[in-house]
């Protein structure tokens, strides 16, 4: 029969006692009494059955009478100990020798050496159940403690054995790391990794895959036979793709329950997936679920870390060889002078120089190796400067500065770049800038002369010109003479030339700042500032460009002035010197329109043929001052009125100049419908000082070219649809 723990007893804490009872009366009495003391009692009347119950490990203590049938207590304990050496046995009742139950039973007691045997000498009919319950609980507590200690020892023992095996594996992996570190080929590294995983980590089926552009390619596999063929897999495939993308390892206890457990090749049930850095993925698989634990994963990660380090080392060595080859080629073939040096006792000592150094400095490598750089190339008066630069480089600074250094042919200017490499190495690179510095010094000298020139133009010429103009004004108030008009025109011409010279001289020295500028507004303002006579402006675009507003004004004004002055083919030029560079028209109304040689039929200017006209008539007092005339009219000025009227008639006939400003795909143009520029002159038209006559100084279009260059534009001259001149500017940045 079985008795359960009394109500209120904590589950699992009450001792579980198996009472081998001699009869039912005693069984019921003992079971009921112990039940009241929170001791769970199971009663068996058969000793064999009781021993089987102990085998189930559901019994904490065996309660046996001193005499069970023909069996003594010693017989019963012996039977129990054959099968269960540690289960406590409580002997119930006095023994024949009169033992009171508290002693050890004497030296002759066969049970004296058994610490798990407890005697309770009370007679069955007069038992103190309080004492019996205490004796049972004490025996059970000792037994349970012993069992717990034994279980703990077993666990510790198993862990120690596992740790020892793990330590042996780790030690073996260090040997693998040494072999990987000496491998000279990636294939050997992958093969060594898989072989070590199989041999040391007991990963029977494993693989190494290398990442390519869009897939993983198998590089090595374990020797365990498998009927599954390895093949390339897509870069985003299952756990392999996720492992490579994130760098995180994965352990699948059951592929069907893992988020990335779709088998890439075959019906495996569990697996490990570890990234080999940026090179690929290592995987181990099994046909059994739960084949790998966390230690297996950690050991695989340790092995793969060695693999990644070996592949990185191999990759680094490959890049290093390439870089060394490139450096050697650069060192030998560089046009710059390069010195390879090292610090010795505080000085930078030359180890090697390249051919460019030998050619530029004029020293053979054998002459300078082993000597301090400053002793070889630093002039005596620059030794202190050179020493400071050396100290800066030694402190780890990158130095870039212009220096003057000594060569076999004398001192030259160099751009020095000193680069510290490591703790003791310096690469000193010298770029010969002597020619550039000579040019800069010449430019500086030219600028000084230019400053002197602009000073003369703006002060020394303008002042006497102002005085002359003032006296001329007084003279014209007192005297009415046509010669004074010629003087006035000469003064105006001198003023115009002075302004052009100053503009040309100041280009490049004024501040240059770009902004958004409207072509239409700029063209219209400039048109108002230029003497255009009866010419017409047409603006065919409202484009906004990025330019310096002031210089764009200079460009437009000079182009417009050029068109009005040099674009006429007939009598449509009302300017004083409109045909300065050679008009072929029939008539002009300009005072000095054919100053450089007109072939027109009539010239009403006072000095129109100052340099030799071949026209049919002139009415100027000094018209043929420098050459014969074929027909001379009166000097009373009558023909002037006639010519003016004729000029007006010509204008009325629609023979007026039109200047057009428009847009190109990447710029703009300025064109006219005048005489145009002969093809043979287009390549020279922007040259400074170029002119087709003798009155102009040829700076107007030079200013235009300089403005375009300052903006980075390209300017070209060609023929307009109407036959006139067309100036195109490309490479111009436009605002949307």
Mean per-residue pLDDT, 630-649: 40
Is the pLDDT at 104 greater than 60? The verdict is no
At 49 the pLDDT is 79
pLDDT of residue 245: 92
By 3-state DSSP, what share of the chain in percent is helix, strand and coil, each rounded to 5? 45, 20, 35
**Beta strands in 277-398, from DSSP E residues, in sequence order:** 280-286, 337-344, 347-353
Residue 684 pLDDT > 70: yes
pTM confidence score: 0.39
Q: Which of 520-524, 550-554, 698-702 has the lowest mean pLDDT?
A: 698-702
Angle, CA 286 vertex, CA 285 and CA 288 arms, to 5°: 150
CB 588 within 8 A of CB 647: yes
pLDDT attached to residue 299: 93
At residue 575, the pLDDT reads: 36
How do residues 299-351 score in pLDDT, each as one tens digit? 999 999 999 999 999 999 998 888 888 888 888 888 999 999 998 887 899 99
- Within the chain, what is the greatest distance between any pair of CA atoms? 183
Q: What number of CA atoms fall less than 13 Å from residue 4's CA on the CB side?
A: 6
Q: Which of the listed ranges 100-104, 207-211, 289-293 does the model predict with the highest average pLDDT?
A: 207-211
Per cent of the chain over pLDDT 90 is 30
Determine which of 102-111, 363-372, 658-667 has the lowest per-residue pLDDT on average. Answer: 102-111
Mention every residue, 6+ apart, whose C-beta is less than 8 A from residue 522.
549, 552, 553, 556
| pLDDT of 127 higher than 60 | yes
Q: What is the CATH number of domain 512-567+656-735?
A: 3.30.565.10
Backbone φ, ψ for residue 612 (5° rounding)? 110, 80
> Domain 183-321 sits in which CATH superfamily?
GAF domain (3.30.450.40)
Using CA atoms in the order 395, 401, 405, 410, what is the torsion angle rounded to 10 degrees?
A: 170
pLDDT given at position 309: 94
Q: Is 90 exceeded by the pLDDT of residue 16?
A: no
Of 572 and 243, more confident: 243
Mean of pLDDT values over 448-476: 76
The fold of the 16-95+111-154 domain, in CATH, is Rossmann fold (3.40.50)
3-class DSSP assignment, residue 302:
helix
The listed range with the strongest mean pLDDT (147-156, 321-330, 530-539) is: 530-539
39 and 65 Cβ atoms separated by less than 8 Å: no
When pLDDT is averaged across residues 149-174 and rounded to a whole number, the result is 78
More confident residue, 251 or 323: 251
Q: Quick one: which of 571, 578, 570 has its CA closest to 496? A: 578
pLDDT score, position 353: 94
Give the whole-angstrom CA distance, residue 603 versus residue 276.
96
Q: What pLDDT does residue 698 have? A: 62
CATH 3.30.450.20: does it fit domain 336-432? Answer: yes
Which pLDDT belongs to residue 457? 66
What is the pLDDT averaged over residues 254-260? 76
366 pLDDT band (50/70/90 cuts)? very high
When pLDDT is cut at 50, 70 and 90, the band that residue 460 belongs to is low
Which comes out higher in pLDDT, residue 643 or 55?
A: 55
Max avg pLDDT among 323-332, 539-548, 623-632, 682-691: 539-548
Share of the chain above pLDDT 70, in %: 76
């Amino acid at each position: 029969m079985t008795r359960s723990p009394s109500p209120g007893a904590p589950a699992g804490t009450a001792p579980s006692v198996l009472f081998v009872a001699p009869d039912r009366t005693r069984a019921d009495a003992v079971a009921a009494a112990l039940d009241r003391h929170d001791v769970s009692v199971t009663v068996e009347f058969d000793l064999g059955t009781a021993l089987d119950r102990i085998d189930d490990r559901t019994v904490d203590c065996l309660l046996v009478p001193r005499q069970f049938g023909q069996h003594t207590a010693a017989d019963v304990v012996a039977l129990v100990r054959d099968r269960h050496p540690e289960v406590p046995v409580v002997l119930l009742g006095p023994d024949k020798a009169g033992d009171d139950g508290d002693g050890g039973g004497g030296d002759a007691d066969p049970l004296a050496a058994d610490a798990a045997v407890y005697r309770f000498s009370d007679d069955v009919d007069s038992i103190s159940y309080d004492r019996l319950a205490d004796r049972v609980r004490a025996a059970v507590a000792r037994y349970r403690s012993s069992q717990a200690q034994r279980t703990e020892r077993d666990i510790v023992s198993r862990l120690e054995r596992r740790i020892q095996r793990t330590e042996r594996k780790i030690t073996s992996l260090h040997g693998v790391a040494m072999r990987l570190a000496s491998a000279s080929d990636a294939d050997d590294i992958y093969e060594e990794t898989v072989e070590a995983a199989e041999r040391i980590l007991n990963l029977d089926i494993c693989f190494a895959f290398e990442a390519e552009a869009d897939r993983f390619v198998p590089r090595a596999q374990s020797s365990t036979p498998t009927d599954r063929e390895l093949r390339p897999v897509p870069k985003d495939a299952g756990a392999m793709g996720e492992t490579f993308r994130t760098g995180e390892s994965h352990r699948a206890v059951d592929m069907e329950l893992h988020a990335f457990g779709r088998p890439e090749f075959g019906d495996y049930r569990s697996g490990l997936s570890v990234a080999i850095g940026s090179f690929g993925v290592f995987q181990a698989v099994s046909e059994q679920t739960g084949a790998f634990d966390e230690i297996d994963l950690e050991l695989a990660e340790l092995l793969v870390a060695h693999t990644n380090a070996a592949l990185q080392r191999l990759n680094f060595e490959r890049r290093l060889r390439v870089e060394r080859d490139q450096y050697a080629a650069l060192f030998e073939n560089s046009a710059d002078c390069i010195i390879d040096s090292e610090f010795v006792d505080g000085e930078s000592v030359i180890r090697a120089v390249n051919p460019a150094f030998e050619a530029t400095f004029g020293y053979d490598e054998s002459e300078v190796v082993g000597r301090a750089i400053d002793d070889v190339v630093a002039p005596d008066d620059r030794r202190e400067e050179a020493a400071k630069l050396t100290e800066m480089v030694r402190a780890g600074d990158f130095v870039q500065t212009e220096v003057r250094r000594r060569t076999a042919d004398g001192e030259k200017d160099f751009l020095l770049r000193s680069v510290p490499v490591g703790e003791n190495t310096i690469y000193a690179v010298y770029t010969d800038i002597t020619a550039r510095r000579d040019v800069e010094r010449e430019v500086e000298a030219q600028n000084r002369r230019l400053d002197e020139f602009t000073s003369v133009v703006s002060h020394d010429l303008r002042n006497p010109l102002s005085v002359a103009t003032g006296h001329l004004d007084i003279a014209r108030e007192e005297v009415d003479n046509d010669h004074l008009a010629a003087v006035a025109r000469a003064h105006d011409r001198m003023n115009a030339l002075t302004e052009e010279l100053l503009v040309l001289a100041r280009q490049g020295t004024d501040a240059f700042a770009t902004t958004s500028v409207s072509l239409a507004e700029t063209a219209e303002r400039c048109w108002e500032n230029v003497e255009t006579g009866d010419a017409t402006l047409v603006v065919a675009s409202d484009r906004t460009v990025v330019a310096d507003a002031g210089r764009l004004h200079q460009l437009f004004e000079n182009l417009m002035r050029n068109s009005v002055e040099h674009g006429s083919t007939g009598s449509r030029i009302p300017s004083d010197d409109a045909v300065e560079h050679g008009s072929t028209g029939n008539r002009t109304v300009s005072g000095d329109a054919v100053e450089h040689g007109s072939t027109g039929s009539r010239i009403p200017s006072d000095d129109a043929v100052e340099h030799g006209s071949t026209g049919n008539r002139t009415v100027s007092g000094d018209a043929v001052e420098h050459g014969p005339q074929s027909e001379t009219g009166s000097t009373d000025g009558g023909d002037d009125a006639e010519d003016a009227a004729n000029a007006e008639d010509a204008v009325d006939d629609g023979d007026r100049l039109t200047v057009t400003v428009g847009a190109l795909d990447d710029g703009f143009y300025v064109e006219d419908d005048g005489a145009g520029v002969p093809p043979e002159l287009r390549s020279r038209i922007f040259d400074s000082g170029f002119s087709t006559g003798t009155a102009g100084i040829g700076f107007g279009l030079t200013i235009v070219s300089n403005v375009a260059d300052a903006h980075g534009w390209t300017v070209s001259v060609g023929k307009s649809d109407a036959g006139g001149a067309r100036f195109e500017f490309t490479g111009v940045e436009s605002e949307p």
